[in-house]
Structure 1
Amino acid sequence: MKPVPALSGVKQKLAERVARRIEDDIVRRGWPVGEGLGSEAELVVRYGVSRAILREALGILTYKQVVAMRRGRSGGLVVHAPAAAVVAGSVATYLHLIGVSVDELYDARITLEVLAARLAARRIVEDDIERLRTVAATDPIGMPPSLVIAEVSRNPMLAILVPTLTRVTGALAGGPRPDFRLGPSAKSARGHALRAIAESVVSGDEATAARRMRRHLEGERTWLKRATASSEVPAAAPASGATSAERIALTVAGAIRREGHAPGHVVGNEAALRDRLQVGRAMFREAVRILEHNGVAQMRQGPGGGLVVARPDPVRVVQALALYLEWLAVTPADLLEVRAAVELRVVELAAARFPGADPEPLLASLTAAPDGGRAEAGVLVTLAGLAGNRLLALFTAAFGRLSSFRTAEPAHDALARIVDAVVVGDSSLARNRTARYLQVLAGSTTPGTAVRG
């Protein structure tokens, strides 16, 4: 069994490290939206880099919509409120670039959307009912009922993660497209399922809402796997709302996957690729920036240079997701609700896949976490890598950047018992011990307190 590669990205370029420093400064200042951070000349001095490196760093942050450069006499770098759609698009683009599978996608969707259905049934209020029923009855393109249910759950993490996975689903299905229509029987079955889920949420029946959501998503998984294996849907398309540069980046990444190029392979030089893609220099270079940001390819200068295949790097997208969740000021209770669902599934999958695997990386990660807190996130990220699901691994890594719990020695002992259960391949025991470990963490949270990494 080959585990999923660990979430340890390639060495960051200087511009990326500067971008991270600017992000850290923004977070330390409480994310002051609209506040100026200084002129370009002042920033060059503050961060000790050349104007070219600073501009590249600001390009990364502008792409993530963390900042904007305001021109004019009173201009300079200004802090932006990060947009949920941009973050969702960034995560969705990365997942699309790495060629996430239908099974990986739906395992993550079921984990999160079953939780959302349970919480929505528990927390729905009068003002939510008419909207949920209307969306379930009409199923409009661009606003699937799952998004409304995620909002009704009152967990801000689900309100960003569920739309992200919905965008990936749309890309895998080759849409959404106005000309796409389900057959009458499939449309009728989908409509019935959505209305049934909505009514169970409205009635406050958590168990039924969760069961119906799981059954609906399993049916979607079966259909999409069959459809993508045939000509029923076209090849995966960029998610709706993708920019032209993102579409070009996805085209290049798709070609790299189809042709099976290994890291280090030179796809072509800039002139040849621009000619093949029929794009201008500015658009091509923006697409290359997206590929580099996601670790899919790097532009190498000099003799023998060109666009070089790299190993997709989840660290950047983990940083973007964690940064946005930190800006939302999610509470420890919000975080723990989603962590529990994800980590219970992670240990279950890891234990099922573990027999025959090398236990040393997992045991080493446990040894490195003697005192609780963030160090324990390394164990969970290692487990997520063993689970074989890159989406759950990515979410686990992002959660680890947010966790500020300082747990006592008994909690660390509980983590060691989880590892023992995974190593022997006992999924049920691993879930049981993880549930008890999470109960210890729940006891250390303070309701209403914002999580800060």
Structure 2
Amino acid sequence: MPPATTPSTDPAPSRLSRPTRVAEAIKDWIVQAHFGAGDRLPSEPELIERFGMSKGTIREAMRILEAQGLVKSRTGPGGGTFVHEVSKERARALLGNYFYFKDLTIRDIYQLRRVLEPELAAALAGNLPEAVLGRLEAIIGEYDAPAQDVEEEREQHVASLRFHALLAEQADNALLGFLIDFMVNMLSDLTVYRKLYEPPNLELWRRGRAFQLQLVEALRTGDADTARRVMRDHMETAQKLMEAQEAEMQRRFISE
């Protein structure tokens, strides 16, 4: 194995606590030493010797890494500390915590969706198996008629965003897929807790569903240019209509 990386003495890292710097050094070493998910890390005494730190510092560093989801401890026979692959759900939750107090708007989210999702659609055209296309159509089938009440309206909004989350899962580019999935989930959460599904919006239902049906057809036939154009129009229309929903809810809040 290559030698352990010692905590950096650069000015910026030095402002971090010692356990945090050691946690970063351990993380770098795990990568350099080519540990994989599920591999057991050396024992605590070995880590103390390798990094030249006290037991307390090493333990706190490992707690930091465990909180980040990068290692996992198990007790009992066969126990120890193991490299752990961070799940998409956990990464999404951690990143979501960062934006929790940022007061994101519909415009903020769609600024990125309008750039990324048309390119994803073009890349997927002609490359999706019929099973995935069938799942996309099944999602559209969940809102084949306008909502009859507020609860159904909320469910339809969430379902329509699952359509885009499913597309994100198919991306060959893991970063692109994660970013789109993250934005879709942020929009879903924002829609629910700000009640942007009130009041029911027939135009949003009608046009959104029509765009998605056109998109599935372009994906099935392998028409990348049409897939890109339809998704771009879908994002632009959705932004305009969702911003109107957002403004309406703000007016209601002020009037109340």
Pick the TM interval, shorter chain.
0.7 to 0.9
Alignment deviations for residues 332-371 of structure 1 (CA, whole Å, 9 cap, x no partner): xxxxxxxxxxxxxxxxxxxxxxxxxxxxxxxxxxxxxxxx
TM-score, reference length from structure 1: 0.45
Q: 1:135 to 1:89 in 2, by over 3 A?
A: same
Equivalence for 1:137: 141
CA positional deviation for 1:232:
6.2
- Give the match for residue 225 of structure 1: 243
Residues 17 and 9 (structure 1), Cα distance of their counterparts in 2 relative to 1, 3 Å cut: closer
1:168 equivalent to 2:172? Answer no
Contact (CA 8 Å) 2:204, 2:241: kept in 1 or not?
A: no
Question: Which stretch has the larger CA shift, 217-226 or 134-143?
Answer: 134-143
Q: CA deviation at 1:73?
A: 5.1
Match of 1:148 in 2: 166
Contact kept? 1:15, 1:56, Cα under 8 Å:
yes
Q: Quick one: which amino acid aligns to residue 88 of structure 1?
A: R
Aligned equivalent of 2:18 = 14
CA positional deviation for 1:10: 9.4
- The residue aligned with 1:52 is 56
| Off by >4 Å, runs of 4+ in structure 1 | 232-235
**Residue deviations 1:241-282, cap 9 Å, x none?**
xxxxxxxxxxxxxxxxxxxxxxxxxxxxxxxxxxxxxxxxxx
Residue 54 and residue 95 in structure 1: after superposition, are their counterparts in 2 closer, same or farther (change >3 A)?
same
Change (3 A) 1:159 1:74: same
Q: How has the CA–CA distance of structure 1 residues 225 and 56 changed in structure 2, closer, same or farther, with 3 Å as cutoff?
A: farther
Question: Does the CA contact (< 8 Å) of 2:126 and 2:220 recur in 1?
Answer: no
Residue matched to 1:36: 40
Number of residue-to-residue matches in the alignment: 227
Which is richer in helix? 2
Q: 1:234 to 1:61 in 2, by over 3 A?
A: farther
Q: Does 1:212 align with 2:230?
A: yes
1:87 and 2:91 correspond: yes
d(CA) in 1 for partners of 2:117 and 2:75? 43
In the TM superposition, what is the alpha-carbon distance from 1:107 to its structure 2 partner?
1.4
Q: Structure 2: how far apart are the matches of 1:114 and 1:19?
A: 39
Equivalent in the alignment of 1:78: 82
- Stretches of structure 1 lacking an aligned partner (at least 5 in a row): 1-7, 236-453
Rounded to whole Å, the distance in 2 between the matches of 1:104 and 1:9 is: 31
Q: Per the alignment, do residues 71 and 172 of structure 1 end up closer, same or farther by CA in structure 2, a change over 3 Å counting?
A: same
Q: Which position in structure 1 is the counterpart of 2:114? A: 110
Extract unaligned runs of 5+ from structure 2: 1-11, 144-155
Alpha-carbon shift at residue 163 of structure 1 (Å): 1.0
Cα deviations across residues 215-244 of structure 1 (Å, max 9, x unaligned)?
Answer: 211222223333333426999xxxxxxxxx
Cα separation, partners in 2 of 1:221 and 1:9, compared to 1, 3 Å? farther
1:96 aligns with 2:114: no
Residue 126 of structure 1: how far off its partner (Å) = 3.2
Structure 1 189/14 Cα, relative in aligned 2: closer, same or farther at 3 Å? Answer: same
Residue of structure 2 equivalent to 1:356 = none
Amino acid at match of 1:12: L
**Identical residues among aligned pairs (%):** 24
2:162 & 2:246 partners in 1: Cα distance?
Answer: 21
Which position in structure 2 is the counterpart of 1:190? Answer: 208
Please give the alpha-carbon distance, in whole angstroms, between the structure 1 residues aligned to 2:125 and 2:185. Answer: 24
Equivalent pair of 2:13/2:21 in contact (CA under 8 Å): no
